[in-house]
Structure 1
Amino acid sequence: MRRDSIFYKLFQQSPSLLFALLANPPSNADEYIFDSVAVKEPKFEIDGVFLPPQNPNPGVVYFCEVQFQKDERLYERVFAESYLYFYRNRDRFSNLQIVIIYPSRSLEQTDINPYLSQLNSPQVNRIYLDELGDIRSLPVWVGLMVLTTLEENRATEEARYLLARSQQENSQSQNRAIIELLVTIMVYKFEGKSQREVEQMLGITLQETRVYREIKEQGREEGEKLLILRLLFRRVGELPQEVRQRVESLALEQLENLGEALLDFTSMADLHAWLEALES
């Protein structure tokens, strides 16, 4: 399940969603802009950066990392990239906050001793989705985040509940966005099921939503591109612009093949060789 792309879409649709998770959100949370940025030399890819509105008084920048896999060097990377970006843009911001979202505590980095002072700081927020409470007591947008963590036997029931609640609570445009995100989550979660089976699970006709028509072509392809580019960066380093464009132009099947091949890459030359073989 490509959670990176799902959470990217969630934050893109509703940047203020991040602040619904925090005990002390900024008073102007609705004015923040969500973005994904790169920090060069050394190059870091930051999952999400929430930028305060531009005005004469610098605001607080929020860095967000969504972590659904064990990474024993996560805090080394998160603190390094966040502080480096803050350093290079110091005049734009008055302060920074770091938010790490886990499905549960079990996926947190094991050795946290070197970072106890940072982790205990009010500037660092660790969110465990399975500890937010009953999904039915949460705001719908937050419920969508929790839905990504549920086992299949619970996901269907809770998805139907969120769908019904969204129709009651939200405007038509907001409800449409929530439906499409909810369907995106369920299509990824139940990849082995047919269209009719997923329709029956949710009690809707997916042809009526834009997401089902596009999820296999555009949505899934975007998720694959995002994942492949991040994996390539960690494998062979920063991609030259020309190489990045070649990767982004690949069809879905080619991206999936590259995802398997890159596990054996050790240098940029391996990527060049793979691309040349593809075009020959």
Structure 2
Amino acid sequence: MKTDTIFYRLFQSFSEFFFELINQSSEQANAYQFSSVEVKQLAFRIDGVFLPKTEAQPIYFLEVQFQKDHNFYGRFFGEIFLYLSQTSLESDWRGVIIYPNYQVESSKIERYQELLNPRRVQRIYLNQLENRPPISIGLAIVELIIVQETQVFEIATPLIAEIRQQIIDEKQQQDLLELLETILIYKLPRANYKEIEAMFSLSDLKQTKVYQEALEEGIKEGIKEGEILTKLASIPRMLKLGLSIEIIAASLDLPLETVQQEVNKNQ
């Protein structure tokens, strides 16, 4: 599972979840811009950096580490200090490392003890999130990444309902549901896709103009309603794979105009 990509997407769209994760006010997100940063000279890449809009706030360096790596801390602090030597920002800094559990963390930390002071670097162990009541939507999504496969449906089903009830903004709601669907596909590689699809209500999609037109065209061609829904729902995922609109239309056997309308709706 490409956890660094999942976390990048999550924090890029919903920066407030990061600040909830480190026990800060979610309103802090308004003071930051999130991005991935490549450090020149040695081609270091930091998973995520929250750059403050004012120098009164610290810079947050984020790394997601799901595999044991005895050289991790050397590389982590090397990236940070090289970046600090190149930036014009005068802000203080904090480090945040996300681990699935204690077992993944390297035991070779003697030379980094002073830097691993909790006020300087915060280490998050996702398997401990359940000890933080009440849990928010953001933290529940993060927790879903590391739960056992047998628990996925138990956690995801009420979470989908909660997102639909609590997230008023339609685009934000759709972004969250798409991210959640991506996590489920990663977490359940052996599951039938229709099992996952069944968890997501497509009633909103049925109300759109693009669906109505596709349905009308499909009826003429003898295509079933469920097949049309499945095709339209797959367009965002195919776009994220880098496929062109023309290839998507040909693969799904849909008119180019229909695919283009669906793309425009999700932009």
TM-score of the aligned structures, taking structure 1 as reference length = 0.70
CA offset digits 1:165-194 (Å, max 9, x no partner): 112211142322211111110012222333
Sort the Cα spacing of 1:203 and 1:59 in 2 relative to 1 into closer, same or farther, 3 A. Answer: closer
Secondary structure of the 2:5 match is: helix
Name 1:88's counterpart in structure 2: 86
User: Offset of 1:84 from its aligned partner?
Assistant: 1.1
Give the conservation status (yes or no) of the 8 Å contact 1:38–1:45. yes
Give matches, 1:14-163, under 5 Å.
Answer: 14-24=14-24, 28-53=28-53, 55=54, 57=55, 59-89=57-87, 91-133=88-130, 137-163=134-160
Q: Write the distance in 1 (CA, Å) between the matches of 2:128 and 2:24.
A: 18
> How big is each residue's C-alpha offset from its partner over 1:56-105, in whole Å with a ceiling of 9 and x where there is no partner?
x453211000111111111111111011101211x313200100001111
Corresponding position: 1:165 with 2:162: yes
Off by >6 Å, runs of 4+ in structure 1: 208-211
Count residues in correspondence: 218
2 CA distance for matches of 1:210 and 1:118? 50
Q: Which moved more, 1:21-30 or 1:127-136?
A: 21-30
**Partners in 2 of 1:133 and 1:145 — Cα distance?**
11
Counterpart AA for 2:187: K
Residue matched to 2:13: 13
- Root mean square deviation, CA, Å: 2.7
Q: Secondary structure of 1:214's partner?
A: helix
Q: Mark the structure with the bigger radius of gyration.
A: 2
Partner of 1:270: none
CA change 1:115–1:211 in 2 (3 A) is: farther
SS in 2 for 1:178: helix
How far apart, in 2, do the equivalents of 1:151 and 1:122 lie? 32
- CA shift in 2, pair 1:156/1:61, >3 Å: same
How far, CA to CA, are the matches of 1:221 and 1:23 in structure 2?
36
CA contact (8 A) 1:50 1:61 kept: yes
Query: Contact 1:183/1:212 (CA < 8 Å) preserved in 2?
Result: no
How has the CA–CA distance of structure 1 residues 203 and 39 changed in structure 2, closer, same or farther, with 3 Å as cutoff? Answer: closer
CA–CA distance in structure 1, aligned partners of residues 233 and 105 of structure 2: 32
Paired residue type of 2:189? E
Quickly say closer, same or farther: Cα 1:208–1:143, change in 2 above 3 A.
farther
- Structure 2: stretches of 5+ with no match in the other structure: 206-228, 244-267
Residue type of the alignment partner of 1:106: Q
Per the TM alignment, residue 121 of structure 1 is displaced from its structure 2 partner at its CA by: 4.4
